[in-house]
Chains A and B, each alone.
Chain A
Amino acid sequence: MSTPMVSMRGVDKRFGDLHVLRSIDLDVAPQEVVVVIGPSGSGKSTLCRTINRLEPIDAGEIRVDGRPLPEEGAELAQLRADVGMVFQSFNLFGHLSVLDNVMLAPLKVRRVAKATARTEAMALLERVGIADKADRFPAQLSGGQQQRAAIARSLAMHPKLMLFDEPTSALDPEMVSEVLEVMVGLARDGMTMVVVTHEMGFARRAADRVVFMDDGQIVEEAPPAEFFDATRSERARSFLSNVLAH
């Protein structure tokens, strides 16, 4: 078996008295799409954020592509450059045009030549369908367009792994699908993805495996068909019936 892209062993994390992650074990294979679902407060976002050490962990070990996560510093920055992350609130840089948002990290972290960075950035904006917005500023874009720009910005670093932390939770309903379309395309192209989401349709369509979390623990994991149609745990069943009731 090849080296997992992500490997978490006995990962523990507390926020004060709150035990948000309880001895998590999780492997993500290269090109695998893992969708993490669960009620709010279950620790799924925190789990996602520990993988590039935006949240340091208290105990356990996380390896990305076989390398243990380094301490904060140059080495960690290097690792983060290879791990794309898409946030719920987009987090585009407000003072930069969409194009400059996409070019910033390739220019400053990878030291790519400006012309190359620009050509690549335009190609990525084309791919996510907002090439015509390249010169706009983030505030001039709809939420869906901003999130697609943020995805293009992450892809510009040629990541070997993409983390999505509730990428559609801040979007108006009619904009959710345009972002999910881009993500489904990525999954199809073989990107390794960890996706925290409430979009069950996406999980069914694009996931190789669904991970259900509750109370800081992984309660159940299975391929989507099995997870949705033959849910084993009581907690996952009651969560799904609540989510799918509407």
Chain B
Amino acid sequence: MTAVIENLDPLLRALGTTVLILVVSAIGSLVLGVLITVARVSPIPVLRGAAFAYVQVFVNIPLLALLLLAVFALPDAGLLMPLTTTVIVVLTVYEAAYVAEAVRSGINTVAAGQVEAARAMGLRLSQTLRHVVVPQAVRAVVQPLGNVMIALLMNTALAATVGVVELTSAVNKVNLVAAQPIPIFTAAGLTYMALALAIGLAAGRIEKKVAIHR
């Protein structure tokens, strides 16, 4: 445990990097993912096709391969940015595909029949979306999105493989010097668990809140 306490400063800074990567790519992937879903359910075939292709590509490539590709290929193509930024961009682009899938499945939980019933009663499309589709889709989608965000948290650890000093990389470095793997990695594991728990609890809270407003 002493190794953790003695290196608290760099470890906390590394934790800060992990949280930074997490928060920025979470926001980015939620926004991008929703846009992809909108494209995917839009009446324009080209947009639908592009969104479908996007999801297929990123769901079917390992994140590590994508990271390595970005870190080594982007500079080669003349695009230089800080490593942390590269990681954030890759995570955003990658997780957006999963967000899009989750949101789409949420929309699909609202039976087409309910949309038909709403239209048959004279509600306009915008009213149908607002009063019938969205309130139900949101409820269905909070928990799956929470899971995507937890997966995103775990995926931030891959940043260590391309030289970003975030939590996993930092504890690894501390251990190389102190050789106390059990307390050091346990502390790191507990930190990830605490973050994941926080995300899960937040998702649960939001879900309850939306449920009460029904």
Q: Which residues of A contact B (CB under 8 A)?
A: 52, 54, 74, 77-83, 85, 87, 89-96, 104-105, 108-109, 150, 153-154, 157
Query: Which residues of B in the span 80-135 have a Cβ within 8 Å of any Cβ on A?
Result: 110-111, 113-114, 116-124, 127, 131-132, 135
**Is B214 a contact of A85 with CB atoms below 8 Å?**
no
**Is A93 a contact of B122 with CB atoms below 8 Å?**
no
Q: Given the interface contacts A91-B111, A91-B114, A96-B214, does A154 sit within 8 Å of B121 by beta carbon?
A: yes
* 28 pairs, A vs B, C-beta closer than 8 Å: A74-B124, A77-B124, A78-B122, A80-B120, A81-B121, A82-B122, A85-B117, A87-B113, A87-B116, A89-B111, A91-B111, A91-B113, A91-B117, A93-B114, A93-B131, A94-B110, A94-B136, A95-B139, A95-B214, A104-B123, A104-B131, A105-B121, A105-B122, A108-B131, A153-B121, A154-B121, A157-B121, A157-B122
Cα distance A102–B139 in the bound complex, in angstroms: 22
Count B interface residues, CB 8 Å. Answer: 20
Distance (whole angstroms) from the CB of A72 to the closest CB of chain B: 9
Distance (whole angstroms) from the CB of B15 to the closest CB of chain A: 40
**Is A77 a contact of B136 with CB atoms below 8 Å?**
no
Cα distance A238–B117 in the bound complex, in angstroms: 34
- Chain B residue numbers with a CB within 8 Å of A82 are 122
**Is B119 a contact of A108 with CB atoms below 8 Å?**
no
**Is A87 a contact of B117 with CB atoms below 8 Å?**
yes
Distance (whole angstroms) from the CB of A170 to the closest CB of chain B: 11
Q: Give per-residue flags for B163-201: 1 if the beta carbon is below 8 A from chain A beta carbons, else 0.
A: 000000000000000000000000000000000000000
Closest to B134 in A: A95
**Is B121 a contact of A80 with CB atoms below 8 Å?**
yes
Distance (whole angstroms) from the CB of A212 to the closest CB of chain B: 25
- Chain B residue numbers with a CB within 8 Å of A150 are 117
